[in-house]
Amino acid sequence: MRRLINQIFKFGIVGIIAFLIDYGLMVFCTEVLGIYYLWSTVISFTVSVIFNYFASIRWVFQVDNGKSQIANIVFFIVFSVIGLGINQVIMWCGVDGLHISYLIVKLFATAIVMIFNFITRKMYFEKGDTQ
């Protein structure tokens, strides 16, 4: 149980840094560069996923799933694309559907995707390890 709590703490730190990258780049692309907010979120999400991948496999998860590094990267990319899809649907529904500021909706979208990411990565990278 202690290991799981430590892992969640590390995941949280990585998540905060990834969020700062994601949110900061989204605001920069939208407000400074004038890019449409949905495109800005694709750009910022992609950059934060790259950071998150390297931080997750080096610091958060003990990658011991018997799969090749290529298989692990493919998994990470596939589930990151699913996470991006979740993010984009929440952004579109919140901003265009409910007329809430993209700055606020992004906070909610990030929380949902973070939970999705932790569960899927934990299940994949650490087969059967729940200590």
In this structure, what is the dihedral angle of CA atoms 47, 76, 7, 113, given to the nearest 10 degrees? 60
Task: Decide: 35 and 29 in contact? Cβ < 8 Å.
Answer: yes
For residue 57, the 8-state DSSP code is I
Angle between helices 37-55 and 2-27 (to 10 degrees): 150
Q: Indicate whether 130 belongs to any domain.
A: no
Q: Indicate whether 42 belongs to any domain.
A: yes
The tens digit of pLDDT for each residue in 8-58 reads: 899 889 989 999 999 999 999 999 999 999 999 999 999 998 998 889 888
pTM of the predicted model, to two decimals? 0.77
The tens digit of pLDDT for each residue in 75-110 reads: 888 998 999 999 999 999 999 999 999 999 999 999
Q: Indicate whether 131 belongs to any domain.
A: no
Q: Indicate whether 16 belongs to any domain.
A: yes
Task: Decide: 46 and 7 in contact? Cβ < 8 Å.
Answer: no
- Burial state string for 66-97 with b = 16 or more CB within 10 A and e = fewer than 16: eeeeeebeebbeebbeebbeebeebbbebbee
Per the structure, how many domains does the chain have? 1
Q: Which of 103, 73, 105, 79 is nearest to 90 (CA)?
A: 105
The domain of 111 spans: 2-125
Q: Indicate whether 86 belongs to any domain.
A: yes
